[in-house]
Amino acid sequence: FDDRDGMIWWNGSLRPWRDAKLHVLSHGLHYGSAVFEGERAYGGHIFKLRAHSERLKRSAQLLGYDIPYSVEEIDEACDAVLEANGLTDAYVRPIAWRGTEQLAVSAKLTSINLAVAVWAWPNLFGADRMKGVRLAWAAWKRPHPETAPTASKAAGLYMIGTMSKHKAEDDGFDDALMLDWRGQVAEATGANVFFVMDGALHTPTPDCFLDGITRRTVMGIARRHQIQVVERAILPDEIGRASEVFLAGTAAEVTPVRQIGDLNFTPGPITERLLRDYEALVQMSPQQVAALAA
């Protein structure tokens, strides 16, 4: 992935993709002090860019550091790198990390770095996702919020996600569905989860995992369709009564689920409607999106 053409925004300027290299003694690599974002541009506009830039700043603050760029400057960096790569429909990946100046648990003297890359990346689950993806139960649990900064999109929190996803893939599934430390349903490894029950949309309360920007967008679409939205603790033994299940995330967009462990589901009309509305919304201009949210 490093040997290709393109430009990467790095601490204020654009560098050739191949030259965007980091020293091996970077704090972010050794001690997991990196935070990142995942965004998508559609038709030249990054969907909900401001919300992503704000979350990036907040993610770093939760890890105890301040990214030395304003939210506006981060927005501009994302737009600039999209344009520099000549892309209109792409995945956008800002990442901030502590540098090489100090390599120990205490790292207050390290520089804070920011880079933004963009590349073409169609849906996380590929073209056949419409028939539904298959989820395995993860063995790893989302940690208690006093154990880890669970509201931060911190690179270190993805360790259990990668292990859970690899196990699911080894067992022939597409992704893993994770419980939290209490045994309640939490999320997939890179997307939030929704259940349709008795015509209403149920989703776990995001008290120990990301309250995704797509999650909130989908809840807004559902409410505009007069579909009731219920955020609550959801136990694994209730999901058998769901008539539809889907995932929501920037990379996953809205993706129907057809299996969780040994339970089967059929993608249905509510998922279909939300998926189509989400697809239409992301194509709108930022002004139109803001007007709808108001």
Decide: 196 and 147 in contact? Cβ < 8 Å: no
153 assigned to active site: yes
Cα–Cα dist 123/218, whole Å: 17
Q: Which helix (H) or strand (E) holds 40?
A: strand 39-42
Output 214 or 255, the one with its CB closest to ligand PMP.
214
User: Among residues 35, 114, 55, 44, which one has the least CA distance to residue 79?
Assistant: 44
Q: Smallest distance, Å, CB 190 to ligand PMP?
A: 4
Output 85 or 203, the one with its CB closest to ligand PMP.
203
The residue whose Cβ lies closest to ligand PMP is 212
Decide: 189 and 100 in contact? Cβ < 8 Å: no
Residues in the chain: 294
Using alpha carbons, list the distances in angstroms from residue 289 to 39, 42, 45, 133.
15, 13, 11, 28
Q: Smallest distance, Å, CB 54 to ligand PMP?
A: 11
Q: Smallest distance, Å, CB 209 to ligand PMP?
A: 6
Catalytic residue among 108, 131, 153, 167: 153
Q: Is 262 helix (H, G, I), strand (E, B) or coil?
A: coil
Buried b (16+ CB within 10 A) or exposed e, 134-143: bbbbbebbbb
Output 37 or 79, the one with its CB closest to ligand PMP.
37
Output 191 or 282, the one with its CB closest to ligand PMP.
191
Output 7 or 221, the one with its CB closest to ligand PMP.
221
Cα–Cα dist 221/215, whole Å: 10
Q: Smallest distance, Å, CB 19 to ligand PMP?
A: 27
Q: Smallest distance, Å, CB 211 to ligand PMP?
A: 8
Interaction site with ligand PMP (CB under 6 A)? 38, 161, 187, 190-192, 209-210, 212-215, 249-250
User: What residues are labeled active site?
Assistant: 153
